Structure 1
């Protein structure tokens, strides 16, 4: 039984954004899957391109290790997304607004980060993910 785009997306978000589990995240991709963040400049902390499940696993593990342990986490109750299916059953697009609560220690206000992700699916796994977000968020 094949998974719906909604199920694939939710599995990806749970593994990455919610739990920061590089093993679970990598398992959402095909063996030769590609993760791309085309707007991220070369040399940024966040990987610009990862090819293959093992590179996705190791690249995201390295990124997660660099994140501050006490950094702000997304507020999933305030966040939202709209998933768009396309004429191609193997492609879907997700518009995401991720909300972060105010940080009283630094006087930062609530923040909403908007991004777009394009998923290409093969055999119920992500064959290619293009993640478009403001690169200054991760550099």
Structure 2
């Protein structure tokens, strides 16, 4: 049974941004899936390009372990996204505004990004994640 773009996107976001579960995140990809963050500089903590489910799993496990335990989680009530289908049924685009609550007197922080998904057999064959690299410092 094939999953819809909505189901694929929600599963990916829950596994990654919400629960930081590298096993579940990697399970969303095909065995040869590619995860790219093309705007990340070489040597950054957040991986720039990962190829294959196993590399995605191991690199994201390491990345999540580096994150501070007090790292903020997105506020789902304030955050939003729009999915755009394309003329290619195996490609969809996610336009995302993720909002993190401000600390005490601080203002909320909004992170805007675009993700391009290429799907094969209900799994992510290629994901390009476009966001400002300074957001992952």
State the partner residue of 1:57.
Answer: 57
Q: Secondary structure at the match of 1:77?
A: coil
State the partner residue of 1:120.
Answer: 118
TM-score by length of 2: 0.98
* CA distance in structure 2 between the partners assigned to 1:19 and 1:73 by the alignment: 9
**Over aligned residues, Cα RMSD in angstroms?**
0.8
> How many Å apart are 1:109 and its aligned residue?
1.7
* CA distance in structure 2 between the partners assigned to 1:77 and 1:127 by the alignment: 29
* CA distance in structure 1 between the partners assigned to 2:13 and 2:66 by the alignment: 19
State the partner residue of 1:31.
Answer: 31
Q: How many residues align?
A: 137
Are 2:46 and 1:46 aligned?
yes
Q: Which 4+ residue blocks in structure 1 deviate beyond 6 angstroms?
A: none
TM-score by length of 1: 0.96
Structure-2 change in CA distance of 1:109 and 1:21 (3 Å):
same
Point out where structure 2 has 5 or more consecutive residues left out of the alignment. Answer: none
> How many Å apart are 1:108 and its aligned residue?
3.4
State the partner residue of 1:2.
Answer: 2
